[in-house]
Structure 1
Amino acid sequence: MGEGQRTVSAADPGLFGPGSVTWQAHADPVMWIAGVRALYLQALHPRAVRGVMQNSDFRQDAWGRLMRTAGFVGTITYGTTDAAERAGARIRKIHSMLGATDPGTGERYGVGEPQLLLWVHCAEVDSYLHVLGRSGFPIGGAQADRYIDEHRESARLVGLDPAGVPANRAELARYFDAVRPELAATEESRAVDDFLRRPPVHALLVPAREVLWRQVAGLAYASLPEYAQQLYGRRAPAAEVVGRRLTVAGNALRCIPARLRWQLPPGHILKAMARLGPGSRPAPHGVRTQAAILNVPGREQRDGGDSATWGTPD
């Protein structure tokens, strides 16, 4: 065994590692579109969005907030185990100190309530998988289930009991069915919608916002489930049109050389590759070729095998 191989075997792969669906999927550039979709979806839970609005300056520091969120996801995906655990501890500490007030009832509640954390978690997982699958990323049913199962670990980091977190597509669908009566378009959610459509930027960047950001936000919104669009009150193109546009966007973004994309701050992927060696380089085909790792025994029978494609129940 060569020196480089010893370095790879001795290094800490972190919570997920190169053999996970998460490792491969989170390197795809459509994750930025998926992240905006998650914000749209999360904002439809009145208690959750109220907690953000009453404790955040996101309208004044939107890009900083987005980068901090991306940094957290990158750390728990590609960082060392210790770095991921420390990031989770910081999030739990912040949540423990923050609360929100229901203006209608005067009720005071913590933003770290399990039901709110679960909503945020499920909206993120659903959005990541939905956009990945519809944009041409090669993820099938078994891999989608594995991804959901893997992210019970990220749920643990923010303070949830993994046993109570959806572990596959069927459980995730049942969760959304159960929570839908609690969702509503409130003043706060409409403020998030307005912000995502026209985030404040320097005057020189307004043209870029109109050309580039409008496409990102538009695709993110259009990929929402139908019930979410009905709550916001804005229609989107037909599902097949949205699917084609996501595929075009995904293919265009993937034409940008990976190493160039991965140099964007904070560079988690490149740091992970330096730590673990070239064999840790994320690649979309890795989701398919690592079937022996990614398919949990017995799961193929539950979801109809690896030929199924991901779809979000409306």
Structure 2
Amino acid sequence: MLSLILNEHKAALSNLNVMQQSAFYSIGFIAQVRQQLALKVQAYQGASNVQFEMVQRTIEEIETLKQQDVLLDDIAEACLVALLLMSNSQKQRFLGLLNRHEFTLLKHKLLEKSLTISGSANSDFLNWANVYGNSDTQAIIYKAIKRAVKQLPDMPEMQETVNAFEKAAMINSPLMSVYLLLLDPQRVNFVCNYVSQQFTREQAIVVLLQTGATKYVPMAVALLTEVRSAKNLVAGIKRCLGSQLDELVAFDTQIQAGDCKQAAVDFQRQFALSWPEQKINFNDQTLVYGFAMNRPVSVASLQGVDFFSWQVITILNALKYDCRNSQAS
């Protein structure tokens, strides 16, 4: 099954991976594209009268693909498409076989891409996090996040955690956002001051945006024309304000500003005209894709956020769920 998907639909798999890196594709849309791909695969199966392999055969294919240096992201996407075509019993068996040690990285990638593959976002996140915490640096990050849910960290611990994020090349990541969103304002300010001293101005602004604090958005906008590529800054702004950014800057300008200097200039101009009037509506809120984090986000609303922000919100919910269960037991 996987060979068929990878051979016949490699471009579609790559496109799905690209969408997951962008702030401008919602997870609802990504799910639709993945479902459409599954239907195409299913139609091909019917037209060619080829029966899909059993789960064991799929596992054997994964082993072969790993030896062929096929991208892990592509294998994971092919697995997610295959899961859509499996019966519940096949899914359970397949996921069970992925518990083998040699599939650790693939399981990690699957859980990263779809925190709800077994139907429970909360339990799946905890499984993912346990896998994720295998390396020393990543273990520091995971343990720091788990601790921050129950007890706010001291200054040296925050420095160690931020350095671990930087060492793991995860300064701009959902887990960094989660960590910052778990801190109180005083500690957020400490982290922001620390990264301002340790990292480049662009890296520091990216971190500031990941706090969800709308007050940092004008700083990021001002920097758009001063960096070689504004992609990370535009994505950070979008992941903070979400669809509310559309009221400040034309959508086409948002998309183009990451790669086009003139579009970045237009972004700044439109923002400068709109922000003074709209600023009061944001009132120094803490937002993830336009949603305030002091109240629940509905499942339907989550379908409209990008993959990065969906991970942030889902992980936060899972951590809170785990914390409540720990306190109750």
TM-score normalised by the chain length of structure 1? 0.30
Q: Which has the higher contact order (CA 8 A, sep 6+)?
A: 1
| Larger gyration radius, structure 1 or structure 2 | 2
